[in-house]
Amino acid sequence: MTVQIQTEDFDLGAEILNLRRGNTGIGAVASFVGLVRDLNHSTTVTEMTLEHYPGMTEKALAEIVEEAKRRWNIIDALVIHRIGPLKPTDQIVLVAVSSAHRGDAFAACEFIMDYLKTRAPFWKKEQTEAGAHWVDARESDETTAQRWTAPSA
């Protein structure tokens, strides 16, 4: 289980090869890459800056990954999240999960992304032609994350 916060870009192919290395029981790898779009709510984004809370970010992500490990039968998981200035089409985040069977990998990967979006301390500031502004949290992200909570809990 690996969690990395970094300013540098990452290489999806190399990271997945590394995740798979040495485990012949892996039958499935689900992965997700989040990218900077040039258009957000009809505004042209020229640059985006990602701020985070050093220390708490790593702790929050490790807890999310541990929770995924408790809920599904997964072999390994990787989260890489970039910080600092990013441009449109730049990679922001990678979540990858390996497992024996595909259902576990898909569910755990989507769960980690949904929880990361609502529980990991990152904030986006967009630079647009009209100036800079902090991106507002989307209520739909909270709704999406809540579907992983057992209704009877």
Contact between 31 and a second copy (CB under 8 A)?
yes
Contact between 26 and a second copy (CB under 8 A)?
yes
State the binding string over 34-73 for a second copy (x if CB under 8 A, else -): xxxxxx----------------------------------
100 binds, among a second copy, other proteins, none (CB under 5 to 8 A by kind): a second copy
Q: Which is nearer to other proteins, 22 or 140 (CB)?
A: 140
Residue of 23, 56, 85, 146 interacting with other proteins (CB under 8 A): 56
Residue of 29, 65, 74, 120 interacting with a second copy (CB under 8 A): 29
**Range in contact with other proteins (rule: CB under 8 A) among 12-20, 36-44, 49-57, 70-78:** 49-57
DSSP lists the bridge partners of residue 128 as 45, 131
Contact between 152 and a second copy (CB under 8 A)?
no
Q: What are phi and psi of 64, to 5 degrees?
A: -65, -45
Q: What are phi and psi of 111, to 5 degrees?
A: -60, -45
Which pairs count as long-range contacts for 31-35, CB under 8 Å and 24+ apart, including other chains?
31/94, 31/95, 31/96, 31/97, 31/109, 32/93, 32/94, 32/95, 32/96, 32/109, 32/110, 32/113, 33/91, 33/93, 33/94, 34/91, 34/92, 34/93, 34/94, 34/113, 35/89, 35/90, 35/91, 35/92
Contact between 134 and other proteins (CB under 8 A)?
yes
Residues in contact with a second copy by the rule CB under 8 A: 11-14, 16, 20, 24-39, 88-89, 100, 102-103, 105-106, 109-110, 113, 144
